[in-house]
Amino acid sequence: METVTTAAVETVALRKSFGGVVVLDGLTMRVARGSVHALLGPNGAGKTTTVRILATLAAPDGGTARVLGHDVVRDRRRVRRTISLAGQHAALDDHQTGAENLEMMARLTGVPRAAARRRAADLLDRFDLAAAGGRRVVTYSGGMRRRLDLAASLVGQPSVIFLDEPTTGLDPRSRRGLWEVVGELAGAGVTVLLTTQYLEEADRLADRISVLHGGRLAAEGTATELKQRFGAHRLELTLRDTDRFAEVARRLGDRVANRDPARLELEVSTDGTGPRVRHLLDEVDPDRRGITRFHVRTATLDDVFLTLTGQSAPADRREAAGV
């Protein structure tokens, strides 16, 4: 008998260790049906391990995990009938063509031959691979292989799809194309759980975001909620010379959020309001001769990431559109 639940994915006190190294340390989270939910976190935070457990590819050491009400340990077959997984590495047959790979996947899910061909053609077109569909996969570029692997994950029209860093290796145009596909899936009622280190990707796609750190849930909420709770506006100051830089840094003390002596730049947290910004400027530059330029920057997910994990996201992951 199926368990009635509003959550598509649910974990409670999930634990997993490898060789004595704790990877998941009591992870509890819920993913709403028909939503896009992003898992953020530094390398080693437990994102991929969480996905592998939910996809029944690894067994937890403790706690429980359910997909559409099915326990991932006791009801593995039921879970597998409802999900699809696109991992970090493409699972393709290099000696088949792109079309043959997709047709084979469709046939393995029980789709009749003619329907499998139509499904393959539709997906090749959707992922901008129609012109390469007749070529063997061994001739594909890395980005093309990634797009084909993602297309293969949609062959069976799953109710829940796990995307483990799905846009790694994709060019900006292909990445935006995938974003559109994810939006279409969610619009059609499919639940999407994706791991990513591209902060803009999570900001743009996810209805909710879970930030993992040290195998635990550090925070969860919408992008806006997380920015409000853990981010902060920053007042960026550019000083006239090294003496002024040193003096302002001394005045601010431990309120300095970031400093770049080579560029004579300092950052300090602020609420972004006019009175507060004016007060800070008057405090650090009372004679109004030391600051050559200032800028108020709104909170970003990178600020959230830094606050919760103690480190910034890698520079090439902060803004996917610039990659």
Per-residue pLDDT of the chain (323 residues; tens, 9 = 90+): 344 457 999 999 999 999 989 999 999 999 999 999 999 988 889 999 999 999 999 999 999 999 999 999 999 999 999 999 887 666 789 999 999 999 998 998 888 999 999 999 999 998 889 999 999 999 998 778 888 988 888 888 889 999 988 887 777 877 887 888 888 888 889 999 999 878 888 999 999 999 999 999 999 999 988 988 887 778 899 999 999 999 999 999 988 888 899 999 998 888 778 888 899 999 998 999 899 999 888 777 887 887 888 765 554 444 333 32
- Those residues whose C-beta lies under 8 Å from the C-beta of residue 297, and which sit 6 or more positions away, are 233, 234, 235, 236, 267
CATH topology for 229-310 is: Alpha-Beta Plaits (3.30.70)
pLDDT of residue 119: 93
CA dihedral sign of residues 72, 77, 81, 85: positive
**Cα Rg of the chain (Å, integer):** 24
Alpha-carbon gap, residue 235 to 267, rounded angstroms: 6
pLDDT of residue 2: 42
How far, CA to CA in Å, does 251 sit from each of 37, 89, 223, 274?
Answer: 42, 50, 33, 20
* Coil vs helix vs strand at 115: helix
Alpha-carbon gap, residue 201 to 170, rounded angstroms: 13
Residue 131's φ and ψ, nearest 5 degrees, are: -70, -25
7-221 and 229-310 have identical folds? no
Domain extent listing, the chain: 7-221, 229-310
For the entire predicted model, the pTM comes to 0.76
Residues 196-210 as b/e (b if ≥16 CB within 10 A, e otherwise) read bbbbbbbbbbbebbb
CATH topology for 7-221 is: Rossmann fold (3.40.50)
Alpha-carbon gap, residue 291 to 178, rounded angstroms: 44
